[in-house]
Amino acid sequence: MYTPTPRNVKSTKSRQDTINQGDEGAGKKPMSKTQSHFLVPSEKLDKVTRRVIAPYAQIERKGIKEEEDKAGRYLDMNRFNVFLEDTVDLESLLYETAMVLKTVTDSSGVFVYIVDKLKNEIVLMHPETNNPERHQINLPIEEGKTAAAHVASTKEFLLLEDVQRDRRFSDGLRWIDAKVALCMPVVKPDGDCYAVLELYRTYAKAYDDNVVYTVVSVACWAGAAVHQAQARVTLSKTAHLNSELRALLQNYFCDRASIDTMLTDMLTVVKSFIGALRSSFYIIDKEHIGQQIQADMWDDGWSNEKTTMPKKKLKVNLSLEQNPAGYVARNGETLNVRDAYRDPRFNKEIDATTGTVVRSCLVSPITDKTGVIGVVQLTNKTSAQPFDKEDELIFSVFVSYCSLIVHFYTMQQKKIYNENLNRVYSELMSLHLKPCKHDMEELMENSGVVLPPNTFRSFDYHISEGSSNREDMAGLVCHMFTETFATRNFEKAQLGDFVLSVLGCYRDNPYHNAEHAFCFTHTMYLILSNNTGYFDFIETVGLMLSGLCHDLDHPGYNNNFLTLCKHPLASMYRTSMLEYHHYFLAKKMIEDKNILRKLPTIDQERIMEEIKYDILCTDLAVYFQIRAQLTPLLADHHFEWTDNSHRKMLKGILMTTSDLSGVCKPFGVSKAIAESVYEEFYAQGDRERAMGYTPLSMMDRRRAINQPAEQIQFLSVVVLPCLLMLQSVFPNTSPLTDNCRKTQEAWHEEIEIRGQKLWRQEDSLPNSQKNLLKEENRSENDINKPIE
């Protein structure tokens, strides 16, 4: 806070010392320094201070009965905060303070000037005039002419001991023939000069140091009080504005109001707070091609007591307009144009975009990281005055809300655009998902099914062996669905169209292809058909459809690789990225082909929920979670068919079993399947190495020699535990477990044939440590021997 220092004042005493001196003169003890200086006994206030505070006490007591006997009463200085809580006339209050100072300082009179920063003038107050604006007297703020204007410019007080002989100011005090004068600026803590107090004497007696000190103290206090009062008013307006705008934003963000209604209401609110006549809102069109700045403009309509026209939305070119909004859009600067007609940057004609005569305006850009995304403009105040700092502060609050609106509006427009784009792509994809006409005709020639071979109901069956061929897959799948659900639930033509379309959506990968989907579905079909009655119709349909669609559009890479290469699917889903993608495509295929149209809507919704759960269970990470929960239930014989959570876990095990059933075929088939799996793994490993990463051993083609050992470990750790859990519930699935063990033995034989051996701990140790390890093992064996 700026505090003027009196000239020629050698020493000043604090208010505390003045009070204590008064006490000592009266034979009283000095007031303790620990006593609150906000609660001072009235009898301890010195005469000068009591006279200065009198106007404030008088205003506070206005409308209340006359104060009773003051003896023994305390004057609580905190009560002066009342003036900061109510609306007060600061200029009138300052004038009354000046009149008190006039009496205290034995002055002949006092003039009070209010500083008008916008016009760079000081205005002489006339409180006794009924129409002060009509009799207003203004002086330009400049140095060297009048004392008051000089003080307003320098913000330092002046002590004129001989006004008539002081040649610094040619006009003197201007209003009266004074001998001595004291001009004191009322400076706020932010450094702005709010007013100038001009005390004068018509007789030749200079103001002494005590008088100067008193006036300086009161002026400093008045500056702080004015600053606090103005800040309180601004904060009150800002808080009210925040409350109004938040209520409007809530309606908009909750889709209870359109952008047109939102902007209309918000601009109406800010206009009423600031007192502007017109308002305009521009949202820059970032999608516009070219160098010109195109924008959507919302402008005021015309209204009176009888008629109201709403705001109008127009398309304007801000690049060509020589108006404040165009300037802000191009330069990104906030503007407070006090007089547009004197500003060479803008046209002197009527604003072509708004049709308004612009005298003054307040314009601000709305920006984000890409630059200017909008512009908001207020035009002409109702008071015909330019916009001031308080208006700018309130306007900045409004602009912050505008940023949210424009950002949300832009996101909403992008959302609408992408939704429509997705519809276009969806229609295009549906067009290309239709099966080949010849395949459909050939399938329907056999009544939509293909009769299976004799070995079809065996877990050993695979589409690559026997009399069947890959062209029969669609007919065999239709046969499995027809046998499971009968034709009353699925029409043959519709089922054939669906199956052919689904098989066509599998990529030509070495392993994750249509052949794998058929193998999965076949294993699921055998388990369900051999154990009827355990799952209801909804669960059975969900499991069969999940089996057929569980790997739709598989890219041949795992979830870890998608995360590593920052694939879009990794951004769309947190976990199980591929599984969510498979479910999305399965849902689209089922809805597009309307394969469930014969079922009630509620059954269709339940089936889709089942399919989502079942497909997500094909993620091995999910399988390990289920296994950890289901294993103790089966071991302790606590599994209950009536418990839905138990049934869900068992369905997850069913999905994993069917997914891994390729390794449960005869070794010739399972070995070929393993080789196709490694072909995909090595392709991923090659890409990881090219990206600078070291692939896992199973994905490193340089370590292909480890395939048998890796297969044995995979069967032991992943596959066999899953098969054993399923066998404990459905004993007739034991052929899967038997084949898995046979495959495991065959891989051991493969290792022996290749002349390899499994890795042992001692193989990686030097000879000295090998001997030590043997001794440790011998000691452990001795410890583990039973005691006889």
pLDDT in tens, 142-157: 887 788 888 888 888 9
CA distance 470 to 464: 7
CA distance 666 to 461: 9
Query: Does pLDDT of 11 surpass 70?
Result: no
User: Of the ranges 84-93, 200-209, 273-282, 611-620, which one carries the lowest mean pLDDT score?
Assistant: 84-93
Task: Determine whether 384 is exposed, middle or buried from the number of CB atoms within 10 Å of its CB (0-12, 13-18, 19+).
Answer: exposed
In a domain, 764, yes or no: no
CA distance 770 to 772: 5
In a domain, 773, yes or no: no
Q: What is the dihedral of CA 385, 388, 394, 395, to 10 degrees?
A: 80
- 62, 92, 224, 482, 516 from 58: Cα distances, Å: 6, 13, 20, 99, 95
Inter-residue contact 523 to 657 (CB < 8 Å): yes
pLDDT of residue 475: 93
CA distance 655 to 646: 15
pLDDT of residue 694: 93
pLDDT tens figures, 730-742: 999 999 999 999 9
Sign (positive or negative) of CA dihedral 250, 253, 255, 260 = positive
In a domain, 297, yes or no: yes
Nearest to 143 by CA among 95, 101, 183, 180: 183
pLDDT of residue 763: 55
Say how many Å lie between the first and final Cα of the chain, rounded.
97
Nearest to 433 by CA among 585, 547, 280: 585
Amino acid in position 757: K
Structure tokens at 546: 């999940």
Query: Does pLDDT of 351 surpass 90?
Result: no
| 42 & 73 share domain | yes
Share of the chain above pLDDT 70, in %: 78
Nearest to 265 by CA among 285, 284, 251: 251
Inter-residue contact 90 to 229 (CB < 8 Å): yes
| 474 & 616 share domain | yes
CA distance 505 to 435: 10
CA distance 14 to 44: 14
Task: Determine whether 134 is exposed, middle or buried from the number of CB atoms within 10 Å of its CB (0-12, 13-18, 19+).
Answer: exposed
Domain count, the chain: 3
| 403 & 450 share domain | no
pLDDT of residue 420: 93
Strand boundaries in 292-433, DSSP class E? 294-299, 312-317, 335-337, 361-368, 371-381
pLDDT of residue 438: 87
**Mean pLDDT, to the nearest integer, of 133-138?**
64
Structure tokens at 403: 């940023």
pLDDT of residue 74: 34
**Mean pLDDT, to the nearest integer, of 360-371?**
87
**What is the number of helices (H) and of strands (E) in the chain?**
25, 14
In a domain, 6, yes or no: no
Q: Which amino acids are annotated as binding site, given as ranges?
A: 512-516, 550-551, 659, 711
Query: Does pLDDT of 361 surpass 70?
Result: yes
How far is CA 723 from its chain centroid?
47
Structure tokens at 683: 């392709």
**Mean pLDDT, to the nearest integer, of 257-277?**
81
pLDDT of residue 785: 43
| 224 & 271 share domain | no
pLDDT of residue 116: 85
| 266 & 383 share domain | yes
Task: Give me the active site residues, please.
Answer: 512
pLDDT of residue 46: 58
237 compared with 7, residue with greater pLDDT:
237
- 140, 148, 198, 446, 613 from 114: Cα distances, Å: 12, 10, 11, 102, 76
| 333 & 370 share domain | yes
Question: What CATH number should be reported for the domain holding residue 533?
Answer: 1.10.1300.10
Task: Tell me how many degrees the CA angle 144-146-150 measures, rounded to the nearest 5.
Answer: 60
pLDDT of residue 76: 39
| 372 & 480 share domain | no
| 175 & 265 share domain | no
- 248, 736, 744 from 749: Cα distances, Å: 76, 20, 9
pLDDT of residue 231: 81
pLDDT tens figures, 710-754: 999 999 999 999 999 999 999 999 999 999 999 999 999 988 887
Q: What is the dihedral of CA 316, 318, 323, 324, to 10 degrees?
A: 110
Nearest to 452 by CA among 484, 486, 475, 471: 475
Domain hosting 159: range is 15-232
CA distance 568 to 658: 29
- DSSP string spanning 661-686? GGGGS-HHHHHHHHHHHHHHHHHHHH
Q: Which amino acids are annotated as binding site for AMP, given as ranges?
A: 512-516, 551, 659, 711
CA distance 271 to 727: 76
Sign (positive or negative) of CA dihedral 612, 615, 619, 623 = positive
Structure tokens at 533: 């009655």
In a domain, 237, yes or no: no
| 457 & 386 share domain | no
CA distance 149 to 152: 5
How confident is residue 371, by pLDDT bands cut at 50, 70 and 90? Answer: confident
Structure tokens at 649: 């876990």
**Mean pLDDT, to the nearest integer, of 528-555?**
95
pLDDT of residue 313: 67
Q: CB neighbours (10 Å) of residue 683?
A: 16
CA distance 38 to 426: 75
| 489 & 520 share domain | yes
Strand boundaries in 631-732, DSSP class E? none
| 573 & 675 share domain | yes
How far is CA 567 from its chain centroid?
23
Among 384, 415, 446, the domain-final residue is 415
Residues in the chain: 788
pLDDT tens figures, 43-69: 444 555 566 666 665 555 554 444 443
pLDDT of residue 768: 59
In a domain, 238, yes or no: no
Q: What is the largest CA-CA distance in the chain?
A: 133
Sign (positive or negative) of CA dihedral 259, 260, 265, 268 = positive
- The per-residue pLDDT of the chain, averaged, comes to 80
Query: Does pLDDT of 581 surpass 50?
Result: yes
Do the strands 276-284 and 371-381 form a parallel or antiparallel pair, or are they unpaired?
A: antiparallel
Query: Does pLDDT of 518 surpass 70?
Result: yes
Do the strands 193-201 and 276-284 form a parallel or antiparallel pair, or are they unpaired?
A: unpaired
pLDDT tens figures, 322-347: 778 888 888 888 888 888 777 777 76
In a domain, 628, yes or no: yes
In a domain, 137, yes or no: yes
Query: Does pLDDT of 193 surpass 80?
Result: yes
Share of the chain above pLDDT 90, in %: 37
| 41 & 112 share domain | yes
Structure tokens at 554: 């598989």
Whole-model pTM: value is 0.64
467 compared with 534, residue with greater pLDDT:
534
pLDDT of residue 608: 96
User: Of the ranges 22-26, 136-140, 366-370, 677-681, which one carries the lowest mean pLDDT score?
Assistant: 22-26
Contacts of 125 (CB under 8 A, 6+ apart): 91, 95, 111, 112, 113, 114, 132
CA distance 659 to 772: 45
Winning range, highest mean pLDDT, from 133-137, 300-304, 409-413: 409-413
Q: Residue 113 in 3-state DSSP?
A: strand
Contacts of 16 (CB under 8 A, 6+ apart): 31, 33, 37
Inter-residue contact 507 to 553 (CB < 8 Å): yes
Question: What CATH number should be reported for the domain holding residue 59?
Answer: 3.30.450.40
pLDDT of residue 80: 39
Do the strands 74-76 and 109-116 form a parallel or antiparallel pair, or are they unpaired?
A: unpaired
Query: Does pLDDT of 235 surpass 90?
Result: no
Q: Which amino acids are annotated as binding site for Zn(2+), given as ranges?
A: 516, 550-551, 659
Task: Tell me how many degrees the CA angle 679-683-686 measures, rounded to the nearest 5.
Answer: 135
CA distance 554 to 680: 11
Report H helices in 188-304: 209-253, 259-274
